Structure 1
């Protein structure tokens, strides 16, 4: 878009040094209108996805705001993610906006998986609660994070452990064999559905949670076995994570989404492919990000500490975030000033970006 200035921002991390090739750990692109210094700016970050050129950055800059699409050192490196480290590096971006860009109000934009991450940031900033994962040292830099002034949850998931568990294929009988299957729980066996009976859905959801707990048990056992060895951690795979029944059966939580679709296309094919959330983990990353028992990346506890004005935007044709997810996010936010808006589009808003930008801009200007 004409009239938009884009500034590359590369900054040190309080935890690690620059890469050997010279890159800063914390990087992003600041978008702003030419000839103006915005008083309000957004910052958006994700667990893994590169948000430096976020799809709303230019649209919001064109409406007079700043937008820092921000990356921690875990962009493209989800397998090594540690929540407390990421929060410290998001804080680097927030401080840059206040101290270098001259911004008076910072809006935390939690998009997609970044919804729970930015909620965790605000939660830690106002009431420190995040602790190190097993065997790691405390991170001093998260004890004094600058808080955001407003919060926007855009097509936001309910948290990393919840979304992985909801998408897990519980018919896996052997974690080392991606083809292993219990036919009684196989979502792609026509004998089971779709449509899926309420009884099957209940068994399936319970089995998904049980699979997550089994992985956690195995991770804790492996970490314990590493004590006294030369290794402190190890890698492992999690197979088949595109099997939320709602993706396959549109009669479960009806919406505007296309039936039998997920973010990777047809669920049956995606589920047996090699691209999936949580597909590669370290033991400690599993505990930090994906485990129902130990992860601090669940949104609800953090949203309960979000008391600033908050806007939730739900895409009604989203292939992976459902109406119940959006309403749960809204309900968990403690702010009295909070609103839910609906946009009829898919997860990345391919047709509705100007509309979403108008919604957010209008909401910001009302405050």
Structure 2
């Protein structure tokens, strides 16, 4: 029997870093040290000495179809976890930028890769735009909560190109668009406005929704986000005024999967399945344990989820990016719908950009080899034209 040569080698490794903080927000390990769990996918016959780097604020995507197929196609890939793997309750986006910077520096200095292409998958999209904007023009010295996190002294290495793949515009905008606008009392989510409750069968406003109802609903979603933000700021001020500046406070955000898009497929229309979202039945997810921002802390809310305060607004960050950009939307995506793709593309201020849609593709390409192959081909052709291969 002959041994079939593997298309790529998977090399797990750790990136150790020191990042001083007045309090600990990650589980375990020494106070001022952390480790980023990473995977290098090294093709058996690489087409290039450049590397595609993926990072999601919390995600473990190192085995997703896109990651492995890029490596099989001959492109070196790194998937790096942030310091907050699988848990965004205390996540600070500014610190995730530092993590991504550590990954890119390690890729160039330790592995010897020549160029880096940032690949923003799903929630990694706005992170990649946030990172690249700060690498090109560093300006942030503190988090929205006022804690010192100075990105201007990190010597962040800019990527040479950026790919937005099934990406959303930001965590804050995505949460706000998904929030249940009917919740009136954050302490008692059973208190709801029946005319805004999408899952109330007696609600006179049913899908397909009128333009007037949608405008009212979207305004109520933003108002709810801002109401939580005001409470968060008051709570932080109270802690600081009591002489406990490093104290935190955990809380629950109920009702975070009530976007009218899931019930009315004519809104932001694509080929997605009606009354469904990437996590399943949206009515179940709305109050389930895995919804966005379900478990949160004060500083994390301001950094990740606050509509007005988060620095990681991908649309604002995209305006400051100068490197070549590829934006790919999936035609049946039930997480990142078409308007997110077009908003990202439109926000990129320069003209060296391309936008494509893959018909019928779902968010993850599970069981979709043809759509996955099309996505790999798009990325490869674009990198070739941009001199990134």
**What does 1:25-174 correspond to in 2, within 5 Å?**
25-34=35-44, 36=46, 38-133=48-143, 134-139=145-150, 143-174=154-185
Q: Which of 259, 272, 284 does residue 299 from structure 2 map onto?
A: 284
Partner Cα distance (2:243, 2:233) in 1: 15
Name 2:217's counterpart in structure 1: 204
Partner Cα distance (2:64, 2:97) in 1: 19
User: Does 2:273 align with 1:269?
Assistant: no
The verdict on how the C-alpha distance between 1:14 and 1:53 changes in structure 2, with shifts beyond 3 A counting, is: farther
Q: Is the 8 A contact 2:332 2:362 kept in 1?
A: yes
Post-superposition shift, 1:19?
4.6
Q: Is the 8 A contact 1:306 1:333 kept in 2?
A: yes
SS at match of 2:17: coil
Post-superposition shift, 1:24?
5.0
Partner Cα distance (2:342, 2:226) in 1: 26
Name 2:235's counterpart in structure 1: 222
Structure 1: runs of 5+ lacking an equivalent: none
Post-superposition shift, 1:138?
3.0
User: Does 2:349 align with 1:339?
Assistant: no
What is the RMSD computed on CA atoms of the aligned residues?
2.1
SS at match of 2:89: helix
Partner Cα distance (1:63, 1:334) in 2: 31
Post-superposition shift, 1:153?
0.2
User: Does 2:199 align with 1:188?
Assistant: yes
Length, aligned pairs only: 367
**Higher deviation after alignment, 83-92 or 127-136:** 127-136
User: Does 2:345 align with 1:330?
Assistant: yes
Name 1:4's counterpart in structure 2: 8
SS at match of 2:18: coil
Post-superposition shift, 1:252?
1.4
Q: Write the deviation string for residues 256-282 of structure 1: whole angstroms up to 9, x where unpaired.
A: 111111122121222132220011111
Structure 2: runs of 5+ lacking an equivalent: 21-25
SS at match of 1:308: coil
User: Does 2:362 align with 1:358?
Assistant: no
Q: Is the 8 A contact 1:18 1:24 kept in 2?
A: no
**Higher deviation after alignment, 346-355 or 41-50:** 346-355
Q: Is the 8 A contact 2:8 2:44 kept in 1?
A: yes
